[in-house]
């Protein structure tokens, strides 16, 4: 667990204004950050003030620990420093009314003694609150749960730090506005709220998985961070099959990272990737997770997608891919979570099993689907299947249409090259 995290920690600090932190210290800080924040919010209420206080405490630790050594109890050190910051803030707060409010929340504290685990989970639910926009959910989760600084998050998303700071403070205001109490969502809402949390983690992962722009190291670190958070979430809710499924999906997808692009940034399709570059350790871990989960928990889209990724990852060569099994999984996926993207992917599996014309027929069912109107992947897959069917002219046109529709530079180049090859 710590191996992967430390790889991430090393690069997050790779910027000129912060000196490179001892890996061990950064790992430790980011592991206890949500526990400290969760405990503070539970005790004092006021998520936004607590969040600022914890960030201050983390910065103090990052400055002091490398020189003075790590305290015996890092968690209580951070709790003490953050609490002091909170009190300072309240003291300097001249509005009497607000002080009284703080006092009132103080009095509410101490009812029951939830564990660190509960606090961290409550924090995740809070940051992924449905009242927030997706960009706000991502930013807040990375800061409050991931323990990243605003500057790090801003760099990863390629926006100015001031913009990210505003986004985070707005999200915190919004949370204050909703008036939701800190704690677990009611049982009836829990499934849906967990679904949002998983979606946020998956979005963070995908944001990092792109190599299309920005400093590559930072983007890749988002992927690593998403995996770290999914791992943490699985520890908190070990019996949720979809959490295990999402973690497995991330591991099995990220395992191909090194083979997915060439040095010049151009994309390599799955069938042409050098499989020796795939990360075997990650594949084994993902497969083991799936084996433990599939059939024992309620099946869901993440588990099924992970199972499909696993079949790809386990094939020694592209030609040895078990497409029959992949097709069977897509059939189930289409039942469990139907949608145009699933149909699109299923069309490829149909083509590999029953021939390109059969795949093209499945694609045809999407032509009238409004949701796919501006989706370049429909045309890209059509181009691929037409090429397999031997229709070079139609394939070229489809690739060209796809190239015009995509918003990703590497994909645009890939598709343009594909079209040029057939010209």
Q: Which residues bind another protein (CB under 8 A)?
A: 133-136, 139, 157-160, 162-170, 206-207, 209-210, 212-214, 267, 341, 375, 377, 406-412
The nearest distance, CB 83 to another protein, in angstroms, is: 28
Q: Which is nearer to another protein, 275 or 377 (CB)?
A: 377
Q: Which residue has the tokens 């969502």?
A: 185
Q: Which is nearer to another protein, 157 or 330 (CB)?
A: 157
Task: For residue 261, list its beta bridge partners.
Answer: 267
The nearest distance, CB 146 to another protein, in angstroms, is: 18
- 45 φψ region: left (φ > 0), alpha (ψ -120 to 50), beta (else): left
Q: Which is nearer to another protein, 46 or 150 (CB)?
A: 150
The nearest distance, CB 169 to another protein, in angstroms, is: 8
Q: Which is nearer to another protein, 164 or 419 (CB)?
A: 164
Q: Angle at which helices 2-12 and 216-236 pack, to 10 degrees?
A: 140
DSSP3 helix / strand / coil % (the chain, rounded to 5): 75, 0, 25
The nearest distance, CB 234 to another protein, in angstroms, is: 23
Q: Is 29 in contact with 147 (CB distance < 8 Å)?
A: yes
Q: Helix H segments across 182-315?
A: 187-209, 216-236, 241-254, 257-260, 280-293, 301-314
Q: How far is CA 384 from CA 55, 148, 160, 361, 376, in A?
A: 49, 41, 39, 14, 12
Residue 387 phi, psi (nearest 5): -65, -45
Least Cα distance to 47 among 189, 186, 201, 181 occurs for 181
Q: Which residue has the tokens 């209580």?
A: 76
The nearest distance, CB 211 to another protein, in angstroms, is: 9
Q: Which is nearer to another protein, 182 or 302 (CB)?
A: 302
In sequence order, which residues have a C-beta less than 8 Å from that of residue 362 and are 6 or more positions away? 343, 346, 347, 350, 351
Q: Which is nearer to another protein, 60 or 206 (CB)?
A: 206
Rounded CA Rg of the chain: 24
The nearest distance, CB 409 to another protein, in angstroms, is: 5
Q: Which is nearer to another protein, 24 or 170 (CB)?
A: 170
Distance CA 228, CA 221 (A): 10
Q: Angle at which helices 241-254 and 280-293 pack, to 10 degrees?
A: 160
Distance CA 153, CA 161 (A): 8
Q: Which is nearer to another protein, 127 or 168 (CB)?
A: 168
The nearest distance, CB 245 to another protein, in angstroms, is: 17
The nearest distance, CB 264 to another protein, in angstroms, is: 16
Q: How many CA atoms lie within 13 A of 129 on its CB side?
A: 22
Q: Which is nearer to another protein, 1 or 158 (CB)?
A: 158
Task: For residue 267, list its beta bridge partners.
Answer: 261
The nearest distance, CB 250 to another protein, in angstroms, is: 13
Distance CA 372, CA 367 (A): 8
């Amino acid at each position: 667990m710590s191996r992967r995290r430390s790889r991430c920690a090393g690069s997050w600090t790779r910027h000129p204004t912060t000196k490179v932190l001892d890996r061990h210290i950064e790992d430790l800080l980011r592991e206890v950050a949500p526990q400290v924040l969760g405990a503070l919010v539970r005790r004092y209420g006021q998520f936004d003030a607590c969040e600022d206080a914890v960030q201050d405490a983390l910065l103090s630790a990052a400055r002091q620990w490398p020189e003075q050594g790590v305290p015996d109890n890092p968690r209580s050190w951070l709790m003490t420093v953050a609490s002091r910051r909170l009190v300072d803030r309240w003291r300097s707060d001249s509005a009497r009314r607000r002080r009284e409010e703080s006092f009132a929340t103080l009095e509410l504290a101490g009812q029951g003694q939830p564990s660190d685990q509960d606090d961290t989970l409550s924090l995740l639910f809070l940051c992924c609150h449905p009242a927030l926009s997706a960009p706000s959910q991502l930013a807040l989760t990375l800061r409050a749960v991931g323990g990243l600084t605003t500057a790090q998050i801003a760099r990863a998303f390629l926006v100015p730090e001031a913009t990210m700071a505003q986004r985070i403070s707005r999200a915190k205001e919004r949370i204050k506005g909703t008036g939701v109490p800190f704690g677990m969502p009611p049982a009836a809402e829990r499934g849906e709220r967990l679904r949002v949390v998983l979606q946020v983690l998956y979005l963070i992962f995908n944001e990092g998985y792109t190599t299309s722009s920005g400093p590559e190291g930072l983007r890749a670190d988002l992927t690593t961070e998403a995996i770290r958070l999914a791992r943490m979430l699985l520890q908190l809710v070990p019996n949720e099959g979809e959490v295990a499924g999402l973690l497995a999906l991330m591991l099995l997808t990220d395992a191909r990272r090194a083979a997915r692009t060439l040095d010049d940034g151009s994309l390599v399709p799955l069938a042409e990737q050098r499989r020796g570059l795939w990360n075997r350790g990650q594949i084994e871990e993902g497969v083991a997770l799936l084996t433990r989960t599939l059939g024992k928990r309620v099946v869901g889209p993440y588990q099924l997608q992970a199972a499909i990724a696993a079949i790809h990852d386990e094939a020694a060569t592209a030609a040895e891919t078990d497409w029959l099994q992949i097709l069977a999984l897509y059939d189930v996926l289409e039942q469990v979570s139907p949608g145009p993207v699933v149909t699109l992917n299923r069309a490829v599996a149909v083509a590999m099993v029953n021939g390109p014309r059969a795949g093209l027929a499945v694609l045809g069912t999407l032509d009238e689907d409004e949701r796919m109107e501006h989706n370049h992947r429909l045309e890209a897959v059509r181009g691929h299947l037409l090429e397999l069917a031997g229709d070079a002219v139609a394939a070229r046109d489809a690739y060209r249409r796809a190239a015009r529709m995509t918003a990703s530079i590497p994909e645009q180049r890939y598709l343009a090259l594909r079209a040029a090859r057939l010209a």
